[in-house]
Amino acid sequence: MGQNVIISELFGKDLAAAISECEHDRTFVLVDETTRAKCWDCVKDYFCLKGARLITIGTTDSCKTVETLTEVWKALQEGGATRHSLLVNLGGGMVTDLGGFAASTFKRGINFINVPTTLLAMVDASVGGKTGVNFGGLKNEIGMFSDAAFVILYTGWLKTLDEENIRSGYAEMLKHGLIADKTMWAELVGFDLARPDLSKLSVMLGKSVKVKERIVEEDPHEKGIRKALNLGHTFGHAFEAWSLRRKPVLHGYAVAFGLIAELYLSAALTGFPAEQMRQTVSFIRAFYGVLPFTCNDYPELIELMHHDKKNRGSEINVTLLSGIGEVRIDQTLSEEEVREALDFVREG
């Protein structure tokens, strides 16, 4: 179907217009505990949401489960949802991923609108039609491609975010800069993430979303060039799954550490300029710190990488760069190369 992405200045007006264009005998709004506390009061009195039923789920990625999905299906069913109902997902990437999957499978699919409220969800999770839940200790193991009818990006929500969540989303923007062009990359590594200027960040966000939209449009089901968006994610997802068993780190932080590993490998294997690698890695280390893993964690991290959905057979598959904007998809790694990259991330 494709989805309409609206970068919104007047959120209430744009939400009303999007809802009016979707078939809806009943409207449901999915939030987690955080967005219920921080965002729901801002919108609950909108006329377009009059009579909407609120569904609240737990917060953080640990709630992105089949059990939570079942709760949402049950709430839709008990609320009298039909094939002609509408679900508005108001929240971060966990809410848009899980809510999109719930809507796409309930009664074989009802309309849904994504209203991402975190920088990460705006730039990554809500655009591109990926939906799903974690399963068996692995991220996004069960899911499907399914487009929202509308995605409404309202940068006013950024004011509700803490420093960590701004940085988490920014890591995906940094990835978009690396796969796009030198101008965008230079702007991103030159941005003061210690004191972020939100109006400047809003403009940069618009450019970042366009990079993702362009790639997704060209390759909606990840057969080729869309794999560019996986830069930093083979290592990043392993770091994230590893951390979930200990002290969880936000998705964007895991991706930032994944970018360090995969830029190191890009410099070692595909000719990525060492100076640009060092500049990007310094920026990440300055704002994201270090991930506290040791050599003893390597077997577990390698095992997690073997489970990655991007792999074919038993090989570990990554996306690397030969230069900024010069993407090399489907690169396979030996375990020795993986260990070398993990050394680099750990030792600096």
- Mark the ranges of the chain whose per-residue pLDDT is less than 50: 1
Q: Which domains does the chain have, with CATH numbers?
A: 4-160 (3.40.50.1970), 163-347 (1.20.1090.10)
**pLDDT at position 1:** 45
Task: Give the model confidence (pLDDT) of 220-243 as tens digits.
Answer: 777 788 889 999 999 999 999 999
Confidence (pTM): 0.85
Say what the pLDDT of residue 126 is: 63
- Per-residue HEC secondary structure of the chain comes to CCCEEEEECCHHHHHHHHHHHCCCCCEEEEEEHHHHHHCHHHHCCCHHHCCCEEEEECCCHHHCCHHHHHHHHHHHHHCCCCCCCEEEEEECHHHHHHHHHHHHHHHHCCEEEEEECCHHHHHHHCCCCEEEEEECCEEEEEEEECCCCEEEEEHHHHHHCCHHHHHHHHHHHHHHHHHHCHHHHHHHHCCCCCCCCHHHHHHHHHHHHHHHHHHHHHCCCCCCHHHHHHCCHHHHHHHHHHHHCCCCCCHHHHHHHHHHHHHHHHHHHCCCCHHHHHHHHHHHHHHHCCCCCCHHHHHHHHHHHHCCCCCCCCCEEEEEEEECCEEEEEEEECHHHHHHHHHHHHHC
